């Protein structure tokens, strides 16, 4: 019998399992998929890395990933636009008439968004319970005194930022929903593929792939975990399945979980955020820009294209769909999605822009082992709900994963830290996060 069963081999699961095993425990990890990494998933079928899940380390300062990635020898490329920044790095901004902003327009736009964001912070600080991010955005725009076009640009920007950061529409997010959104330091992407990280941390662990957990029976004496084909027993379990799976009742708990855990599961939202990678035979956009951005009304639904050519060495753009638009594209076929995204690009670069020679499209909302992309603070929820989700149950059940970390939910480092916290609680001791890299072998295809 194992000491601990970890359910899910994403970054939270492998972190918890590795630290528990290093602490002397017998650990078994049960993973439903036929691969390790969960929402860190690198597609290498084309001979280069395409990260279908996470791509960015969101802020290198005070981030445990910074040292970990360096110790594992993973190459990193600076790419500080991963959090829907308006500026800070060169961006090809296009106006409503599809003309490129000149330097003055860019300066005015950045000043406008700074003003609006300061007002938005004040509005969310003064917001009443139950108010949404849409409410405080509108209040900030009204307070700015901006006229029609300037107001419309700020409004579109706030909407798109929410869709990207939360995977949902602005009127579903709590007024405080993006409070945790500050980025400390540069951001980077990983040309060798982000899933090298969870796969390296998985080295030496007992991970059973293809084991979809369907039921967890628990008492203070221990846990009995049932998969479609097997039964596993242990003194305790760490549950790291995504919030989408918990919300859908994908695992039956007996006895039922207490309200301290079911409350956050119900109140927090699970967003949908999908990626569309477009590979072109030749580059048709300008050198030296991190992203192309369409402002104002014409930016619905496609508004931002990120130049990720540094990852593949090929001319590649990455665009996103979040919220309702993401759910809608998941029902469309690939050709229709590519045609739609190309319409947005051609509006700015001309009808002569050729079709892409390859594309990669994700559908995380329909992925049965994720049922969404990441969690967000829905109207009526609070950041405290993230940590409350990790309240130990009966001394034997520990929840971890990005949704269970309040300061940086929806991130790789938040998920990792939640796995670290679960291991510390179980071992009853502080564990230096740096010890995670000990004995981890760099793994790639
Ligand atoms: C498109 C996209 C882009 C993103 N971009 C970024 C980014 O750039 N930077 C960033 O920091 N974060 C990003 N994120 C978020 C980041 O990927 C996640 O926060 C993080 O990987 C979550 O790790 P986790 O261990 O909590 O969950 P997961 O990685 O989802 O791991 C949970 C595991 O549980 C397994 N599982 C599910 N159900 C069962 C079951 N019944 N039985 C057994 N196993 C089960 C799943 O298969 C999965 O492997 C992105 C996510 C998506 C979807």
Tens digits of per-residue pLDDT, 85-106?
A: 888 898 999 999 999 999 999 9
Say if residue 115 is in the same domain as residue 256: no
Cα gap 156→407, rounded to integer Å: 26
In a domain, 349, yes or no: no
Ligand 1 mutation pick, 30, 54, 436, max ligand atoms within 8 A of CB: 54
Which of 172, 202, 228 is where one domain is finished?
172
| 433 neighbors 252 (Cβ within 8 angstroms) | no
By three-state DSSP, how is residue 38 classified? Answer: coil
Kindly state if the Cβ of 159 falls inside 6 Å of ligand 1: no
Does pLDDT of 184 surpass 90? no
Query: Does 399 map to a domain?
Result: yes
Domain that holds residue 135: 104-172
Q: Report residue 307: phi and psi, to 5°.
A: -85, 100
Ranges assigned E (strand) in 220-290: 222-227, 231-239, 252-254, 269-271, 273-279
**365: in domain:** no
Q: Is the CB of 53 under 6 A from ligand 1?
A: yes
Q: What would the pLDDT profile of 325-372 be if each residue is shown by its tens digit?
A: 999 999 999 999 999 999 999 999 999 999 999 999 999 999 999 999
162/215 same-domain check: no
Residue 256 has which token pair?
A: 């039922």
Provide the pLDDT for residue 372.
Answer: 98
Is the minimum distance from the CB of 167 to ligand 1 under 6 angstroms?
A: no
Q: Is 379's C-beta closer than 6 angstroms to any atom of ligand 1? A: no
Q: Based on the domain organization, do 405 and 259 belong to the same domain?
A: yes
Same domain, 198 and 165: no
Distance 54 CA to ligand 1 centre (A): 8
Residue with tokens 């390859």: 358
H-run or E-run covering 244: helix 243-247
pLDDT at 444: 56
Please say whether the beta carbons of 376 and 269 come within 8 A. Answer: yes
Residue 419 is assigned to a structural domain of this protein? yes
Q: Pairing between strand 316-322 and 304-307?
A: antiparallel
- Looking at the structure, do residues 265 and 381 belong to the same domain, yes or no? yes
Task: Ligand 1, residue 419: give the atom nearest the CA.
Answer: 25
How many whole angstroms from 212 Cα to the centroid of ligand 1?
15
Asked if residue 277 belongs to a domain, the reply is no
CATH code, 419: 3.50.50.60
- The H or E element that residue 217 is part of is strand 213-219
Around Cβ 176, how many Cβ atoms within 10 Å? Answer: 18
DSSP tag of 167 = S
Ligand 1 centroid – CA 31 distance (Å): 12
Tell me the pLDDT tens digit for each residue of 22-52.
999 999 999 999 999 999 999 999 999 999 9
CA of 410 to the centre of ligand 1 (A): 9
Q: State the Cα torsion 27-28-32-33 to the nearest 10°.
A: 80
Report percent pLDDT > 70 for the chain: 99
Domain co-membership, 251 together with 128? no
Q: Give the pLDDT band of residue 445 (cuts 50, 70, 90).
A: low
At residue 440, the pLDDT reads 84
pLDDT range class, residue 441, cuts 50, 70, 90: confident
Measure the CA–CA gap between 31 and 29, rounded to whole angstroms.
6
Tell me the per-residue pLDDT of 383-397, one tens digit each, with 9 for 90 and over.
999 999 999 999 999
**Does residue 78 sit within a domain?**
no
pLDDT of residue 442: 73
Strands (E) located in 13-138: 27-30, 42-43, 50-51, 56-57, 77-78, 91-94
- Pairwise CA distance, residues 173 & 78, whole Å: 30
Same domain, 199 and 230: yes
Name residues whose C-beta falls within 8 Å of residue 83's C-beta, 6 or more positions apart in sequence: 56, 58, 165, 181, 183, 187
How far apart are the C-alpha atoms of 68 and 322, rounded to whole Å? 30
Residues 157 and 212 reside in one and the same domain: no
Q: What is the pLDDT of residues 169-180, one digit of tens each?
A: 999 999 999 987
Choosing from 117, 137, 172, the residue where a domain stops is 172
Same domain, 261 and 383: yes
Q: Is the CB of 132 under 6 A from ligand 1?
A: no
Helix axes 133-144, 148-166, angle to 10 degrees: 150
What residues does 173 pair with on adjacent strands? Answer: 378
pLDDT beyond 80 at 322: yes
Do residues 217 and 261 both lie within one domain? yes
Q: Say if 241 falls within a structural domain.
A: yes
Last residue of a domain, one of 172, 206, 227: 172
CA of 52, closest atom in ligand 1:
1
CA of 11, closest atom in ligand 1:
25
pLDDT in tens, 249-285: 999 999 999 999 999 999 999 999 999 999 999 999 9
Q: Are strands 27-30 and 2-7 parallel, antiparallel or unpaired?
A: parallel
Residue 250 near ligand 1, beta carbon < 6 Å: yes
pLDDT, position 1? 86
Of the CA atoms within 13 Å of residue 48, those in its CB half-sphere come to 15
In sequence order, what E strands does 70-176 have? 77-78, 91-94
Residue 240 CB–ligand 1 contact under 6 Å? yes
198 and 167, same structural domain?
A: no
Q: Ligand 1 atom closest to Cα of 418?
A: 26
Are 255 and 111 in the same domain? no
Q: What does the block give as tokens for 296?
A: 């104002």
Spatial neighbors of 205 by CB under 8 A, at least 6 apart, are: 14, 17, 18, 21, 27, 29
Indicate the pLDDT class of residue 83, thresholds 50, 70 and 90.
Answer: confident
Strand (E) positions, 286-345? 291-294, 304-307, 316-322
Residue 124 has pLDDT above 90, yes or no: yes
H-only helix segments in 331-383: 334-349
Atom of ligand 1 nearest to the CA of 30: 43
In a domain, 187, yes or no: no
Q: Is 428 left (phi over 0), alpha (psi -120 to 50) or beta?
A: left
Q: Measure the CA–CA gap between 433 and 19, rounded to whole angstroms.
A: 9
* 204-230 pLDDT, tens digit each: 999 999 999 999 999 999 999 999 999
Do 304 and 292 contact (CB within 8 A), yes or no? yes
- The count of structural domains within the chain is 2
Q: Which residue's alpha carbon is at the smallest distance from atom 38 of ligand 1?
A: 369
Q: How far is the CA of 10 from the centre of ligand 1 (A)?
A: 6
Atom of ligand 1 nearest to the CA of 414: 19
Whose Cα sits closest to atom 10 in ligand 1? Answer: 411
How many Å is the maximal CA-CA distance in the chain?
A: 68
């Amino acid at each position: 019998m194992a000491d601990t069963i970890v359910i899910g081999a994403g970054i939270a699961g492998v972190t918890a399992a590795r630290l528990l095993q290093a602490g002397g425990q017998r650990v078994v990890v049960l993973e439903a998929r036929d691969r390790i990494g969960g929402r860190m998933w690198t597609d290498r079928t084309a001979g280069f890395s395409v990260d279908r899940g996470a791509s960015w380390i969101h802020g290198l300062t005070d981030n445990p990933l910074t040292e970990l990635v360096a110790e594992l020898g993973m190459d990193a490329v600076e790419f500080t636009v991963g959090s829907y920044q308006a500026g800070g790095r060169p961006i090809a901004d296009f106006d409503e008439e599809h003309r490129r902003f000149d330097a003055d327009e860019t300066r005015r736009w950045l000043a406008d968004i700074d003003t609006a964001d300061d007002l938005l912070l004040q509005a969310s600080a003064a917001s009443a319970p139950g108010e949404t991010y849409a409410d405080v955005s509108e209040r900030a725009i009204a307070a700015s005194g901006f006229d029609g076009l300037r107001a419309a640009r700020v409004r579109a920007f706030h909407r798109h930022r929410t869709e990207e950061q939360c995977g949902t529409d602005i009127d579903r997010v709590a007024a405080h929903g993006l409070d945790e959104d500050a980025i400390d330091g540069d951001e980077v992407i990983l040309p060798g593929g982000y899933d090298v990280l969870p796969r390296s941390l998985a080295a030496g662990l007992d991970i059973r792939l293809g084991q979809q957990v369907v039921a967890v029976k628990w008492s203070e004496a221990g846990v009995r975990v049932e998969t479609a084909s097997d039964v596993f027993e242990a003194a305790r379990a760490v549950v790291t399945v995504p919030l989408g799976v918990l919300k859908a009742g994908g695992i039956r708990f007996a006895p039922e979980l207490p309200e301290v855990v079911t409350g956050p599961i119900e109140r927090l939202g699970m967003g949908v955020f999908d990626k569309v990678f477009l590979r072109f035979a030749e580059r048709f956009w300008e050198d030296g820009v991190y992203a192309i951005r369409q402002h104002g009304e014409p930016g619905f639904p496609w508004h931002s294209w990120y130049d990720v050519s540094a990852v593949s060495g090929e001319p590649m753009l990455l665009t996103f769909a979040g919220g309702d638009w993401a759910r809608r594209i998941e029902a469309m076929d690939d050709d229709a999605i590519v045609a739609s995204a190309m319409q947005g690009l051609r509006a700015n670069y001309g009808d002569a822009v050729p079709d892409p020679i390859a594309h990669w499209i994700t559908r995380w909302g329909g992925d049965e082992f994720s049922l969404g992309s990441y969690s967000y603070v829905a109207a009526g929820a609070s950041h405290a709900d993230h940590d409350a989700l990790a309240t130990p149950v009966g001394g034997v059940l520990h929840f971890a994963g990005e949704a269970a970390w309040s300061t940086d939910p929806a991130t790789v480092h938040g998920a990792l830290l939640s796995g670290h916290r679960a291991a510390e609680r179980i071992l009853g001791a502080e564990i230096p996060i740096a010890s995670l890299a000990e004995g981890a072998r760099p793994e790639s295809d």
